[in-house]
Amino acid sequence: MFDVNKVDAIIEKHGAEQRALTAMLQDIQGEYNYLPREALEHLAQKMKLPLIQVYQVARFYRAFSLEPRGKHSITVCLGTACHVRGGVAVADQVGRLLGIKPGETTKDRRFSFDTVNCLGCCALGPVMVVDGQYYGKMAASKVERVLAKYSGEEVATNA
């Protein structure tokens, strides 16, 4: 739940200045796993800025989410090295199994699914990361087994 004291502590730590805005948003996201509307409103008020200026920064950077995220975070790397080694097929399979597109969260809030442009471990490509755990040399045929570890139940396929 949104806690005004936590946001105040973050503002206190950085100083309510424009130059600290990204760092504050990063800390708020670190706290809640997304940027709650109340937190942004509170921040804007404290910084004496129109809310739109805070939103502009929050919307510009990919790292920020305005929606609550899933319990497990799945990332499929689509850097060039992963792309030429078949990363797209892996990403397609994740999307198909979970029934969501990159950037979305499943209705039960169990999984969030994103693609990234490079994780910098190209030797392992195609790479998929679930909650910080790396799965290298992935293939579409291996996705279901990996997801099953996190779903607590058999992942329903649409087959």
Partner 1 sequence: MPRLTSRAEFEAWRQSILASWDPSKPCITVCGGTGCSALGAKEVTAALGRELKKQGLQDKVDLKMTGCHGFCERGPLVVVYPQHIFYQSVTADDVPDIVSETLIKGNPLERKLYKDLVTGEPIVYEPDVPFYREQHRILMKYNGLIIPTRIQDYIAIGGYQALCKALFEMSPEQVIEEIKRSGLRGRGGAGFPTGRKWEECRRADGDIKYVICNADEGDPGAYQDRSLVEGNPHSILEGIIIGAYAVGAHEGFIYIRHEYPLAVEHITRAAEQAEEYGLLGKNILGSGFDFTFKVHRGAGAFVCGESSALMRSIEGYAGEPRAKRIHATEKGLWERPTVLNNVKTWASVPHIINNGADWFAQMGTETSKGTMVFSLVGKVNNTGLVEVPMGATLRHLVYDIGGGISSGKRCKAVQTGGPSGGCIPERLLDLPVDYEALTEAGSIMGSGGLIVMDEDTCMVDVARYFLHFTMEESCGKCTACREGSRRMYEILERIVHGKGQEGDIERLQEIGTTMINGSLCALGRMAPNPVLSTIRYFREEYEAHIRDKRCPAAVCKDLITYSIIAENCTGCGVCLRNCPQGAITGEKKQVHHIDPSKCIRCGICREVCRFDAIKVE
> Cβ(63)–Cβ(29) under 8 Å?
yes
From residue 119 to residue 148, what is the string marking binding to partner 1 with x (rule CB under 8 A)? xxxxxxx-x------x-x--xxx-------
Closest CA to 59 of 41, 76, 35: 35
From residue 42 to residue 71, what is the string marking binding to partner 1 with x (rule CB under 8 A)? --------------xx--xxxxx-------
Q: How far apart are CA 16 and CA 46, in angstroms?
A: 7
From residue 9 to residue 28, what is the string marking binding to partner 1 with x (rule CB under 8 A)? --------xxxxxxx-xx--
Q: How far is the CB of 152 from partner 1 (least distance, A)?
A: 21
| Residue with smaller CB distance to partner 1, 12 or 141 | 141
120-124's contacts with Cβ under 8 Å and 24+ in sequence apart are 120/79, 122/79, 122/81, 122/82
| Residue with smaller CB distance to partner 1, 41 or 144 | 144
* DSSP character at residue 85: T
